[in-house]
Structures are given as structure tokens and as C-alpha cells.
Structure 1
Amino acid sequence: MFPWRLLCACVALIVLSGCDVPNAEITGKVTYEKVPHSDISHGLEYNKSFASPVRGVEVQLIEDGTIIETDITDAQGQYKFIKKMDTFVKIRVRAELSNVTGDGDNNAWQVRVVDNTNDSALYTMETNTFEVKRESMSINLHAASGWQGEQGYTSTRAAAPFHILDKVYDIFLKLDAIGDVQLPALTINWSPNNIPQFGDVTIGEIGTSYYQNGQIFLLGAEDVDTDEYDQHVIIHEWGHFFEDKVARSDSIGGPHAGGDYLDMRVAFGEGFGNAWSAMITDQPTYQDSFDQNQATGFSIEIEDNDVINPGWFSEGSVQSLLYDIYDEASDGQDFINLGLKPIVDILTGQQKDTPAMTSIFTFMTFMKENNPSFVNDFNNLLQAQNITTDVDIWGTNATNNGSLTEALPVYLDLAVGDVIRVCTSTSQGADGNKLANHRFIKLNAPVDGSYTLTLTPSRDNDIDGYIFTNGEAVAANDDAGIEPAVINANLAQGISIADVIGYNAEGTAVAAVCFDAEFQMN
């Protein structure tokens, strides 16, 4: 008996129609060049690079400029197409993860890596056009780093967007394992032109790697600071996206470093970002490469309990607490291993709706409520960080003032008809995000209604005030000037929070000020 292909050919000699062209199976693997960090210098080690699979991305089969079929790479980076032979096609890989509707037990997500210096064009990788003329074809695609030793980057840094995506894919795997966490679309902006200079982001002047308004921007400046292989940085910034879009973040951002006495909202947000990167990678040594040839860098020991200036205002204390709650290792004080789910549950649940500002106080209050059998262990961790163990969302019993009398109490109480004296401080820095740059006032509204908060400085200073209800801004007065700041707000019965900061008379620099705060019902 003739094989099917030969039989078909014979029939075709007699009848010129009705014989189908055989199909070909096109398979392949998509990989990128992964560049690891040195455990000594914490810079990149290009000589130890290796091929890593590109997982979960869309692969397109294109014929005559038209996408005729798509597939998603599996955990090994593999794809497969069935195509009739004797045609000309090419294969394109998109730097995009997409599961918009969710698939089975998986959550919904969509992430794209684009070039912010090229009209936000999506990064892609594709083959040349080739002829399909065999029943079985293997077409592999590899995104190289572009690094050529002493010559530096001499060709397209094709691997960069795919490594960035791969770290986000790691996050999705962890989230899918713990349940329902639906995510909005995210755009990640990376370019070799992204430099540590603030200005026009469309030409790469992004200043630093950061998250803002549903987008992440990552540095790519060769011999200065590149972040495309710094997995902890990528995942840290994704953590800010998660807080903003799925959970809640009250952080005001700004400059920060280990050992800083920070505004408690910033301390929690940055500490969470660092801890999150360690949880996702299960690598508690945070590494960030930079400088000539990306050969040097710095590291942060996330699990280290011996942090500089521990306290509720320390990102180091926050990251140590959160990671110790998550991880399996016992390091002398940590006998807890709760994993990711209880942490995510609090961030997307109780902390999202708390009337207090997000801080280690809110998080640990809910952690204790949800896990009462571990209260003694939590207290040991808190004590090690010089944070009160008798914790509530308001930090009511806090005693560590970070050497600033103005830092405590964390919240000042203000009832209708009362006037209280409030002072801010710049002794721990004047960036606007340091300890006691802002003071928090609990406004106790007895009924739903219209209220007025009046902030009167004792000398020629500019006062800005913002009122929040359950984390949502409801009123503000941030006009420049030395007159009293008057804020009118419709408030629901219960507690709202006034966040107040002082400036010099010109409103150009954060200043230590004292003022009277008066709360009235209209």
C-alpha cells in the first residue's frame, strides 16, 4: 500500500483537485539569556549567563503579514503550530503575558513590556520568513543579552524585556497557588535609554526605577544603572502596583534608604516591597547591580533582624517582620511559617478598609486577629524591632519615638469644638517623607455632616492639610500662603484622618512648624 503522501500525489496526476496538502507540525522553544548576580560583588556576571525559558508569552504564526494562529509558551518555553506545507511563514514572540479572562484555576492578568522612548512600542522577537516544507519542523527562538565582554553591549538587548516578564510570571505562579487575586492590566516601561535623571520619560529621563499610576518604569543605563536583570527591583516595583491596584497603599513615596526614620506609610510600603521580592523569589538577599559593566552593586538582607534604627518608622523592621512571617527558616526569633496567603489576605482585605493609615500597626493588628495561636511569636518579632507588642491600628501604646518628641503619639485626637497644639519636625530629615514631617490627627465626627478643620500656624509658615476617610482623600487645602489653612469636608460619622505638613513661608521647603488645630461642625 502506498503511503498517504505518495497516494495523494498519484491521484493528483489524474484528478487535479480534491487532494489536500499535508500538514506540518512546527514546534520550538523560546529562551532568553539570563544573567545572574555575583554573591560577592552583587554585580552581574555575564560569563555565567545561561538560557532560560520564556514562559507564558504569546507566540504568533504569521503568513503574508496576517496572524493566522497563536499559542502560549508553556513552563519550558515550548510552543506548537500545525500548518499546511508549501507555505511561507514567520514566527513572532511578544513581550506580553496575558490571561485576561482567567483560565481554569488561574487568575486574570495582562502585562506588557514596552519601550517608553519609542512611542511605547511593544517589544517583540521574530524569525525571518521561512518555507514550511517538512512534516516536522523545529524552530527555536533565543533572545540574547547583547553583551560582548570587554566591548560591552554591542547588539540589541533582546533578553531584557523577557527577563522582566519572567519575573512577573514568577509572581503569577505564587498568586495562582493561593487563590483568587484578579489583577488589572500593567505596563512596564524599559529602555536602554532610561537613565537616572528626572525629566522627559519619553526620551528616557525616568530618574529611578519606580511605579506610578498603573505603570512601572525601569532603568536601563549601561555602565550607570540597569535594572532589567535585578529581579528584586522588578518584583519590588510590582509590589507597589499590587498595593495600589489590588490592596491599598497610603505611602507618599520619596527618597528612602536603610536606617532612615521614615513616615510610617513609606516605611510600610518600601518594607513590603522588599519583603515581597524575597517572598516571590525565596531569596532573602536583595541584590541591585550598577556602575561600570554592571559589575558592582549592593545587597539587603531582608531577613536580618538586626536592622539599623529599628522601629515602626523603619523599612528594615517592616521587611524583616513580613518575611519572617512568610518564610520557613528559623533564625533565632522566627518560629513562624505562614506562607504568602495570610499576608495577601490582610493586604487585600482588612488593611484595605482600615480607617487608620496603612502601617506596620494596621498590618500586625490584623495578623494577630487572624492568627491568634501565633500571638506570642508575633510579639517576639515585634519586640526584636523595638515596636510595641500591645499593638492596635492606631499605634496607641507606641513608646519608640525615634528620638523625636514630636513623633508620638502617632495620632492626636481632636473632637468637635476642641483645639489642640500640634508640632512637626525635620530633625530626621526634611524630604517630606521622614518621621514627623507629617502629623496625623483623628477627627471624631459624631454624626454625618459638614465639618471645618482650621490649621493656624504660630508664625509665618505655610500649612497643608489633607483629610482621609478609610484611605480615600475627601478634602484638602494645599494652597501656598501663611494664612490659616481652612478645610471644609463632608464627613461620615466616625473617624477620619487629617494629615498635616508644614513648609516655610514661601511654601518651597518642608519645615518644622507648630500650629493650632480646631475642629468644628458647620
Structure 2
Amino acid sequence: MYLKRLIFVGAALSLLAGCDIPNAEISGKVTYEKVPHSEETNGLDYRNSYDVPLRGVKVELIEDGKVIETDITDSQGSYSFVKKMDTFVQLRVRAELINDDTSEDGNEWHVRVVDNTNDKAVYTLSTDTFEVKREIMEVNLHAASGWQGDEGYKRTRAAAPFHILDKVNDILLKLDDVGEVQLPTLTMNWSPNNIPSQELDYATGKIITSHYTNNEIYLLGAENVDTDEYDDHVIIHEWAHFFEDNLARSDSIGGPHAGGDYLDLRVAFGEGFGNAWSAMITDRPLYQDSFDQGQALGFSIAIEDNDVINPGWFSEGSVQSLLYDIYDEAADGQDFIHLGLEPIVSILTNQQKDTAALTSIFTFMTYFKENYPEYATDVDNMMAAQNINPAVDIWGTNEDNNGSLPEGLPVYLDLFPRDILRVCTSTSQGDAGNKLANHRFLKLNAPVAGNYTLTLTPSRNNDIDAYIFTNGVEIARDEAPGIEPVVLSFDLEQGISIADTIGYNEEGTSVAATCFDAEYQLN
């Protein structure tokens, strides 16, 4: 896809008549141009770009249009082949990371970077066909950024997909040090055509914003608007959602969010974890995101900052601060825990994955204190500093910070068979559907296994939607429009399940504050 300069070194050697054709060694390095961020503006700083080795990628040796041999670049981006002289070959690097160790404790992953506006073609970096005419040949492949100063991107942006791939490699190397990694194929979609839009049309680049969905990540690339290919933290944040989806568990419903928002507890944890994860992988707790004309501006988030806006269990800022403080080595504020990545990965992929409650800072911190009781006092102090009651359990019992909303607490409303309970939602902290108290959660206690019915009767002309979960798995739902009572029947094992409820206007087109009666029966 990209034509690169070839560099040949080595002394010319003559061939003796009648002798076999000798072998030649073809070797070199694969690199790409890294564009850093400005510490002053948080935008991209093209003047200080530098070359970085491309690690762990497959280099293909091609003859007559066929791949005849492959090699994997090492930590320095180096590769090597042996080939007969007087032949004509080509080198190609695909924007893919593949590890298919199928042993019992082996690691498996497959990551590819594609152009979603070009039939999902995998990006490649290649040479022209060249003659093997020296016994020692150095052929280096380099992906340049394509930036031409005041002229902008006037050349192919060859480095972008390979930088994206290299950031995923950073994650996989860190996870490999922690333990076994077995992941499905991940497709990273990037294109210069990917632009923020209110519409969604992946084939034309309308992706709304950078996001994860169904084992695919979409990243912005629109010059002079918003590009994310060099925003390390953005790339790694979106990968964190892929991790939650496949190795751990995420109950997050997504949606718009920003620092200081009063969020649904699931969204607060998911986005806070994504931000914290990006800081853990990079060991750089300053999240930077570039945008605007010439990618010259941007914003930053101080992940380690304990002084967040509107702290609490509903705050992504509080979540990211707490999680990163468990990981990092710096002692600041109430933070005296320095445990690295392993305990975080362990809790997410074990206890939190199977929790009966919805995934939140309550579940994570409860399980952390169970696993590391020697740090319980430190954790309590850290939680109190974020206006989260240290005495909570996975259900948020005893929490007293309601986010300035009467409907904010209790986090879960208890229901037992034959109970009738008045439930009210709120849009006072926003009506995007993912803000605090847009949803109210009912804890359905099942004293015995059996068939149960939940009836939700609105007190005014509102549409109610409801979803029933057992250990994070949806077992029933009703999201049909209409103002009639919602009646859901479902089988439960003995234990606790969750009803997630939300109110809409009469037409069912926008989130609305409402009240309804919840009646729960064992049939």
C-alpha cells in the first residue's frame, strides 16, 4: 500500500562460473513515526516527532505475488530472511498482531487495523519489488506520519495504523507479564475519513466518536477536526472496554459522559476504569486527547488527581483515581497501596465477573478488601476521601452520598415476594439515559427457586422499560412503547436478581422522570 525507500548496504560479490547461486541475507528494521503531545496545549507536537520500532508484527517475503516466508519483528523492530541471490522479491508488513499459542496455558490474540471506509482492508507497509543482488542486504521499512507542516497531511498517513497497533502491543505485553491472555479477534477501525457525526455510517466514516462495540474499535481520524491515532490514552481506553467485554464483565450502558457528571454507577465504573487503565498501561497518569485545526489543541485529565469534581460512587473521576492509586507507586493523599496490575486484573476477571450486583466501584472495592484485608484501612481512607462510604458492600448498603438527588439513594431498592413499592426516577442530573437516577435498580430477593412476576404500574402517562438480570445475564425485558403497566414473568433460582427500570415520556422517545408502583410476586 505504501512505497518506501530501500537502503542496500554490503560489498558486491562476484559469482564464479559453475558455482551454486549463493544465499543472501535480507535484514532490516521496521519503524514508524511517533507524534507526541504538547505539554502546553495537549495538541499534537509534530516538530518533536521521532521514530519508534514496530514490534511483534509479521514481515512477509513475497516472490511472484506469493508469500514464501515470514518473520516476526523483535523488540527493536528487526527482521531477517535468507534468500537465493538473483531473485526478485518484495517485503510487506501487515497491521496485525497474531499470537496463536494453543497450549493449555498459552496466549491467544489477533488484532488487526483496517480501513472501515475501504471494505475493511488491512493496512500494509510494503516495498517495491527489488533484486536480491548482494549477500548482505539491509532493507528498512518506515511508516511516516505524512505531516507536511503548514500544508497539513499532504502525504499518506502511513504511520497512523501502525501506531494504533503498537499501543495495543503495549497492553498485550503488560498483560502477558500478569498471566494467561486469551482473546478473540479485535478489529481496530481507523480512517482519515472517520469524523464525529450525529449519524452512524461506518462505511463512510460517520462514527459519532471513538468507541468500542462488539469486538470492534472505531477511532476518529478527521484532519483539523479530531484525530485519535496518536492519542495513546484514547486508544487504550477503548481497548479497556474490549477487555471488560471479553475477559471481565461490564454492565455499562455507555452514552455521553464528561468529568464532573453524576453518572449511572455502571457507566461511572466503566469509564473510570477505561481512563485508569490507559494510565496503568502507559505509566503516565495524564490523559491527553488532541483535536481542532492542525490537531494543535486538546484537553487533559489528571488520572491520579484525588481532588475530583463532584466526587462519589457516581463519578468516573473518583473511580479512576481509586483504581490508579491501587496500581501506582506514588504515595499521595490517602494512597499507600502500590500493587501493580495483577490484583486489578484478578478481581475484574474473577469476583467482579460473577457478582450478583451490577458492576460498580462498590463491587470492586468490596472484593479488593476481601482479597487484601491488610489494606482495608487504606482503602477505607481512600474511599472516604472520594465521598464514598467505606462501610458499603457490593450493593452500596450504607451509602449516604445521594449526589444531591433524593432519588439517588438507596442504590438498590429491596423487593421481597408480595411487596409493593413506590419507585421514582429523576432527570435532574441530565436526561441522556445514563445519568444518576435515570435508572432505578430493584433488588429482587428470591427465597426459593420458582417463577416470579414483576408488575410496574406508572402513576402518570409514562412509558416504563424494565430489564431483569441474574449475575449480569439478562433473562427478561420489556421495552415496548406504551403507558400500560409492565408485566414480566421469569424463572429465578434462589438468591438475588436485579430489575433495571427507566421511565420515558408517553411516546417513549425521551427519558423522563416518573414514579411507578413495583409489585413483586412468587407465582
Task: Supply the AA of the counterpart residue of 1:267.
Answer: A
User: For residues 50-89 of structure 1, what are the structure 2 equivalents within 5 Å?
Assistant: 50-89=50-89
State the match for 1:349 in structure 2. 350
Equivalent-residue separation in structure 1 for 2:463 and 2:289 (angstroms)? 39
Task: Supply the AA of the counterpart residue of 2:281.
Answer: I
Deviations 1:91-127 (A, max 9, x none): 0000000102268986211100000000000000100
State the match for 2:456 in structure 1. 455
Deviations 1:14-44 (A, max 9, x none): xxxxx53211110010000000000110000
Sequence identity percentage: 73
- The answer to whether the 8 A contact 1:364-1:391 is kept is no
State the match for 1:178 in structure 2. 178
Equivalent-residue separation in structure 1 for 2:80 and 2:171 (angstroms)? 25
Task: Compute the displacement of 1:444 (Å).
Answer: 1.0
Helix, strand or coil at the partner of 2:233: helix
Q: Specify every segment of 5 or more residues in structure 2 that has no aligned partner in the other structure, as ranges.
A: 1-12
State the match for 2:201 in structure 1. 200
State the match for 2:469 in structure 1. 468
Equivalent-residue separation in structure 1 for 2:428 and 2:458 (angstroms)? 19
State the match for 1:122 in structure 2. 122
Equivalent-residue separation in structure 2 for 1:243 and 1:434 (angstroms)? 21
Equivalent-residue separation in structure 2 for 1:40 and 1:311 (angstroms)? 30
- The answer to whether the 8 A contact 2:194-2:219 is kept is yes
Equivalent-residue separation in structure 2 for 1:65 and 1:417 (angstroms)? 73
Do residues 263 (structure 1) and 264 (structure 2) align?
yes
Equivalent-residue separation in structure 2 for 1:205 and 1:44 (angstroms)? 23
Equivalent-residue separation in structure 1 for 2:136 and 2:105 (angstroms)? 33
Equivalent-residue separation in structure 2 for 1:325 and 1:128 (angstroms)? 50
Helix, strand or coil at the partner of 1:273: helix
Do residues 133 (structure 1) and 133 (structure 2) align?
yes
Do residues 247 (structure 1) and 248 (structure 2) align?
yes
State the match for 1:489 in structure 2. 490
- The answer to whether the 8 A contact 2:260-2:308 is kept is yes
Task: Compute the displacement of 1:161 (Å).
Answer: 0.3
User: For residues 317-466 of structure 1, what are the structure 2 equivalents within 5 Å?
Assistant: 317-466=318-467
Count residues with an aligned counterpart. 510
State the match for 2:236 in structure 1. 235
Task: Compute the displacement of 1:133 (Å).
Answer: 1.2
- The answer to whether the 8 A contact 1:105-1:176 is kept is no
State the match for 1:39 in structure 2. 39
Helix, strand or coil at the partner of 1:202: helix
Helix, strand or coil at the partner of 1:174: helix
- The answer to whether the 8 A contact 2:306-2:333 is kept is no
State the match for 1:154 in structure 2. 154
Equivalent-residue separation in structure 1 for 2:119 and 2:506 (angstroms)? 42
Q: Give me the TM-score of the superposition, normalised by structure 1.
A: 0.96
From 16, 30, 43, give the equivalent of 1:9.
16
Helix, strand or coil at the partner of 2:184: coil
Equivalent-residue separation in structure 1 for 2:520 and 2:333 (angstroms)? 48
- Structure 1 range deviating more: 176-185 or 254-263: 176-185
- The answer to whether the 8 A contact 2:418-2:521 is kept is yes
Helix, strand or coil at the partner of 2:183: coil
Task: Compute the displacement of 1:329 (Å).
Answer: 0.5
Helix, strand or coil at the partner of 2:413: strand
Helix, strand or coil at the partner of 1:80: strand
Helix, strand or coil at the partner of 2:125: strand
- The answer to whether the 8 A contact 1:440-1:500 is kept is yes
Task: Supply the AA of the counterpart residue of 1:401.
Answer: N
Deviations 1:412-454 (A, max 9, x none): 1111111111100000000000000000001111222221110
Q: Specify every segment of 5 or more residues in structure 1 that has no aligned partner in the other structure, as ranges.
A: 13-18
Helix, strand or coil at the partner of 2:337: coil
- The answer to whether the 8 A contact 2:227-2:295 is kept is yes
Equivalent-residue separation in structure 2 for 1:99 and 1:20 (angstroms)? 37
Task: Compute the displacement of 1:199 (Å).
Answer: 2.4
Helix, strand or coil at the partner of 2:182: coil
The runs of at least 4 consecutive aligned structure 1 residues that moved more than 3 Å come to 102-106
Do residues 145 (structure 1) and 152 (structure 2) align?
no
Equivalent-residue separation in structure 1 for 2:450 and 2:125 (angstroms)? 59
Equivalent-residue separation in structure 2 for 1:255 and 1:492 (angstroms)? 35
Equivalent-residue separation in structure 2 for 1:484 and 1:87 (angstroms)? 77
Task: Supply the AA of the counterpart residue of 1:139.
Answer: V
- Alignment root-mean-square deviation, CA: 1.2
State the match for 1:517 in structure 2. 518
Q: Decide whether aligned partners of structure 1 residues 64 and 70 sit closer, same or farther in structure 2, where only a CA change above 3 A counts.
A: same
Task: Compute the displacement of 1:9 (Å).
Answer: 3.4
Equivalent-residue separation in structure 2 for 1:211 and 1:368 (angstroms)? 30
State the match for 2:95 in structure 1. 95
Do residues 165 (structure 1) and 161 (structure 2) align?
no
Task: Supply the AA of the counterpart residue of 1:397.
Answer: N
Task: Supply the AA of the counterpart residue of 1:288.
Answer: D
Equivalent-residue separation in structure 2 for 1:485 and 1:120 (angstroms)? 42
Helix, strand or coil at the partner of 1:185: strand
Equivalent-residue separation in structure 1 for 2:494 and 2:25 (angstroms)? 67
